Amino acid sequence: MALVAKYHRARFGGEAAIKRVPVSGKVFDEKELQYGVGAVLDGWWTEGKISRRFEKSLSRFLGLKHCLVVNSGSSANLLALTALTSHVLGERRIQPGDEVITVAAGFPTTVNPILQVGCVPVFCDVLPATHNLDPSQLNAALSSKTKAVFLAHTLGNPFDLKAVRAFCDQHDLWLIEDNCDALGSRYNNRFTGTFGDLATVSFYPAHHITMGEGGVVLTQDDTLAKIVRALRDWGRDCYCPTGKDNTCGKRFGWKLGDLPEGYDHKYIYAELGYNLKNTDLNVALGLAQLDKLQGFIEKRKANFAALSALFEPWSDRFELPQATPNSDPAWFGFPLSLRADCGFSRNAVINHLEGDGIATRLVFAGNLTRQPYFARGEYSYRVATTLTQTDRVMNDAFWIGVYPGLDQRHFEIVAESLRRFFN
C-alpha cells in the first residue's frame, strides 16, 4: 500500500497547468487506489463485505434503513420503478397502462423505466428559475390511471418536495426521487432522497462521488427493499448475501409456486429479475470517496457561489440559477438560460466557451418528446397542459461545471473568455 501511495504521487501528484475547464470529473487521492488494490488482493471481487460496508455507511449518512448497491444509476431507476409493479403490493401495484407523472426536461433514464414497464409518462412543464417541475400542473396531470410521480432533482436543485409529497399523500401515489444529481442536497434541512417511497443515486464519474460505474436504491420501507433486492439478484426469493447459504434456516423447506416441496430456495424466483449487482472492486473506490463526500458537497456549494458572483454583472444577458425555496442544493452544475433580448444565440456562446477550453453541457435531453425515439411515435405519452418552458430549456439553457476539481483559477479563465465574447 505504501507503493500504491508512491505511485499516486508520481502519476497524479503535482499541479498541472490549467488548459481546460472541465464540466465534471472525479477527484481522488491515494486512498481510492489503495482501497481498489486491496479489493483485488482480497480475491473476492464480486459483491461482498465491501459492498455491505458501503451500504451501511451511506444509509447512516442519509438516515435511511435500506441502501442497495447496484451497477449504475440507470439500473437503480429501473429497479425503483419495477419494484412498484410487484405482485407483493396488491392493489397498489403499478400495472401496464397506468400513468406516471414526470417531466420531459431531464435525463432519459428517469423516464425510460416508465416505458419499460408498459406505463404512460405524463409530462408536466417546468419552472424557468429552477428547471424543476411546476407543481401547479400536478392536478392537470392527474387521472384515474395515475399511480406514481417520478422526478429528478435537476442539477442538484431539489424540486418542491413539500408540494409533491403532499400531492402524492392526498392521492395515494408512490413517489420516486431520482437523486442521481443531488446527493447531499437538502430540503427543509433534510437530505433529498429521503422523502420518496424510493430514491436512487448514481456514482458515475460525473456525480458527487464515484465508483466508476455504480448506483444505489434507497428506501425506508422493508417490503420495498426486499422487492428491490430480489429484482437486482435475478428475481430470486432467497435473500442470502452473496456467498452465504441458508440465512432463513430452511433452505430446503419451502413450498412456493408449483415447484416441489423442498426445492432449493436459492433457485426459487418470485420476480422477473435481472443481475444488476455491482462488484466489490468498484464499490471499494466508492467507499474511499464516501469519506470525502461532505468535503465535496461544501466545495460544490462554494464553486456555485463563486460562479454566481462571476456571472452577476451579466445577469441582464443570462437568467442565473436560483435554489428552490427552503432548499440547500449540493449543486451538480451551474445552469444558465439566455434572456430573450440578450443579443446572441446559445450556439454562439457555447461555441466560444468550448473554443477556449471551457466545457459546456445542455440540460440533458431538453424536451424528451422531441428526441428521435419519442418523435417516431412508438411510445405513448400525455402532456398535462403545455411544455412551453420545457422547450425554452431545450432552446436556451446550458450549464457549466462546479465539481470539486475546479477552483478560482478555472473561474478566472471563464470570466476572461466571457469578457472577450461580450467585447
Catalytically active residues are 207
Three-state secondary structure along 176-221?
A: EEECCCCCCCEECCEECCCCCCEEEEECCCCCCCCCCCCEEEEECC
Q: Is 4 exposed, middle or buried (0-12, 13-18, 19+ CB in 10 A)?
A: middle
**How would you label 335-347 residue by residue, b for 16+ Cβ within 10 Å and e otherwise?**
bbbbeeebeeebe
**Which residue shows C-alpha cell 424543476?**
132
The Cα 112–Cα 104 span in angstroms is 11
Per DSSP, the residues of 137-165 read GHHHH--TTEEEEEEE-GGG----HHHHH
Contact (Cβ atoms closer than 8 angstroms) between residue 415 and residue 21: no
Looking at residue 372, its amino acid is: P
The Cα 333–Cα 328 span in angstroms is 14
The Cα 187–Cα 177 span in angstroms is 13
